[in-house]
Chains A and B, each alone.
Chain A
Amino acid sequence: MSIGAHVLLIGASIIMLYPLLWLLSASLKPQEQIFTSGIWPTIDWSIDSYFRGWNGLRTSFSVFFMNSFVIAVLSVVGNLIACSMAAYAFARLRFKGRNFWFAMMLGTLMLPSQVTLIPQYVLFRDLGWINTILPLVVPKFLAVDAFFIFLMVQFFRGIPRELDEAAMMDGCSPWRIFYKIMLPLSMPVLVTVSIFTFIWTWDDFFAPLIYLNRMQDYTVMLGLRTFVDSTGESDYGGLFAMSVLSIVPIFLFFLFFQRLLIEGIATTGMKR
């Protein structure tokens, strides 16, 4: 029985991962072999596609990677600051209306972003923020990702209350308690939030598509899409090579933090 289960799971893993391996292998094939060598990897490796793809557009992918990186890092910083502050207030501070605002915050979890999309676009346009990274980054500093607030609230509630109550007795201000006690004890959830923010911002296609219209501002995902439209039909090798590179940062996070990522997903599902 157990052997049968293993065989089943190994088979399933191969089917699951084969598309990704195929992508990697296609990016390493000489251009003329990509569609002639069938489903098996070839031995005749070549990294030409990577060089061709990197400079395959008017703007090089180094610019796109830089843009994506800046946006993702600023988003992480924004989410860490703003979401942890809000979560601390909801989890630990007593003030009038706390339950009401907490319910409001949870309510935004369900709201489809399409509803706020157009007025937000108009707002950012009126502020002159189109073709800058501000519409992508500033909202993160305003704690728009309710999901992360919720995650942090759950974590903060697990920290023994005696710690901050004792500090409060000693005359510690909420700010001090927040950054001297809560934050240092919350590294696991802070890292989880950082990783997910980075990955989701890196992957995001919709917001950059709307707000960034000049090629020098493009993120990697917009660059890839442009590649499909302009040269993709002739240079599949380059397209696959850049696709592989675009998922490398996510893959690295996965490699180093998979345990944490998986626990992060599992705990959010377990709220009752």
Chain B
Amino acid sequence: MAVNAAEAAVPDAASGNSIWSRAWQNHAPGYLFLLPWFIGFFGLTVGPIITSFYLSFTDFDLLTPAEWVGVDNYVRMFTNDRSFAASMRVTFFFVIFSVPLKLAFALGVAVLLNRGMKGLPLYRALFYLPSLLGASVAIAILWRQIFARDGLVNDVLSIFGIVGPSWISNPNYSLWTLIILSIWQFGSPMIIFLAGLRQIPQDMYEAASLDGAGKWRQFVKITLPLLTPVVFFNAIIQTIEAFKSFTPAFIISGGTGAPINSTLFYTLYLYNEAFSFFRMGYASALAWFLLLLIACFTAFSFLTSKYWVHYDD
């Protein structure tokens, strides 16, 4: 069917007469090229969003038809669900510590690398590799082992005569191991910072240094302000990624958020509600609350950005 329509869209002097065939000629190709996307957009995005909103007001266990319960799911979330509260705490803690630290590392290394030194491509590649391996199960397994009681971290500490705890199974440290994993993957924001640094005109630094401004002053007065659009972009992307983080926590905690919910990420909790306990209605409400959180965060970022993000044009 699409093929016929495509042929009809070929410019053809004879059919160019009526308004309709002209309109068809002008607009049909665009829509035909978008056809797969349209099917995906309506079938896999818009439709599911609406359904999910409806399901969030129901009890639904996959087997029996969804049963309307009004706002019960939302009420339960905030009044009577300690796991939900725990997962919110864990997720916020993770976002608040992992994102700024990761960005700080990324920026620091990018500034170091931006001096046109020899071996830049090699360093850049080496620092990027962990990011690329990112969400791999293998990396989560590696991490579990590094922070185990008999793992690498404690082997290193023992050189200094320190007997380390079992990081993963100690609720005081378990979330920090995941934060460190996230920081370790600072490579992709670093590359974006590098690209941004390269856009800053070199003569600004020369002028500043003629005026006697030191390196640190140049960084604070020139580099940072001119880089704020990139900082902003990285911060948004990394925060949303952090909110959605799943695989490392799933693998490291054995899918439960153990020990005592200290690594119960929001997405992990949502997964368990949906696919371990088949509370699909409740999980839909959780998903909608996540959407709301991310939307609020994004809107807030954009609103405040005009006070600290400087566009030079």
Contact = CB atoms under 8 A, between A and B. Distances in A.
B104 interface: no
Contacts of A111: 45, 49, 291
A203 B134 contact: yes
Contacts of A114: 244, 267, 270, 286-287, 290-291
Contact of B125 (A26, A82, A119, A258): A258
B142 A173 contact: no
Contact of A246 (B123, B127, B137): B137
A161 interface: no
A19 B28 CA distance: 54
Contact of A115 (B34, B49, B134, B141): B49
Given A5-B117, A228-B141, A82 B36 contact: yes
A174 B128 contact: no
A32 B121 CA distance: 39
Mostly, the B contact residues are helix
Given A86-B36, A144-B44, A203-B135, A269 B9 contact: no
Given A95-B29, A270-B196, A23 B142 contact: yes
B200 interface: no
A22 B36 contact: no
B19 interface: no
B87 interface: no
Contacts of B260: none
B44 A19 contact: no
A44 B281 CA distance: 55
A81 B2 CA distance: 15
Contacts of A151: none
B291 A115 contact: yes
Contacts of A108: 41, 45
A202 B123 CA distance: 25
Contact of A94 (B30, B291, B311): B30
Contacts of B247: 205-206
B142 A243 contact: yes
Contact of A19 (B36, B127, B152, B199): B152
B291 A224 contact: no
A95 B275 CA distance: 43
Report the interface size class on chain A: 35 or more
Contacts of A13: 123, 126-127
B164 to A, nearest CB: 13
B36 A142 contact: yes
Contact of A221 (B40, B137, B194): B137
B29 A269 contact: no
Given A39-B156, A203-B136, A262 B287 contact: no
A234 interface: no
A173 B62 contact: no
Contacts of B150: 35
B141 A5 contact: no
A228 B152 contact: no
Contacts of A104: 41
A225 interface: yes
A122 interface: yes
B246 A265 contact: no
- Name the interface size band of chain B: 35 or more
A269 B294 contact: no
A112 B29 contact: no
A78 to B, nearest CB: 9
Interface string B58-101: 00001000000000000000000000000000000000000000
Given A23-B142, A117-B274, A174 B9 contact: yes
Given A9-B113, A206-B247, A272-B229, A174 B126 contact: no
Interface stretch (B171-179, B184-192, B206-214, B217-225): B184-192
B2 to A, nearest CB: 10
B44 A120 contact: yes
With most chain B CB atoms within 10 A of its CB, the pick from A104, A118, A265 is A118
Contacts of B267: 114
A173 B9 contact: yes
A187 B283 CA distance: 42
Given A178-B33, A262-B125, 15 more contacts: A16-B184, A19-B184, A20-B129, A22-B142, A23-B145, A85-B33, A89-B34, A112-B294, A117-B48, A122-B51, A173-B7, A205-B135, A205-B247, A244-B138, A270-B196
20 contacts: A6-B117, A6-B119, A8-B112, A9-B113, A13-B126, A20-B142, A39-B159, A89-B30, A93-B33, A110-B240, A112-B294, A114-B291, A115-B290, A116-B49, A178-B33, A221-B136, A228-B141, A240-B145, A266-B191, A270-B195
Interface of B: 6-7, 9-11, 26-31, 33-37, 39-41, 43-45, 47-49, 51-52, 55, 62, 109, 112-113, 115, 117, 119, 121, 123-130, 132-139, 141-143, 145-146, 150, 152, 155-156, 159, 184, 188, 191-192, 194-196, 199, 229-230, 233-234, 240, 243-244, 246-247, 250-251, 254, 267, 270-271, 274-275, 280, 283-284, 286-288, 290-291, 294-295, 298, 311
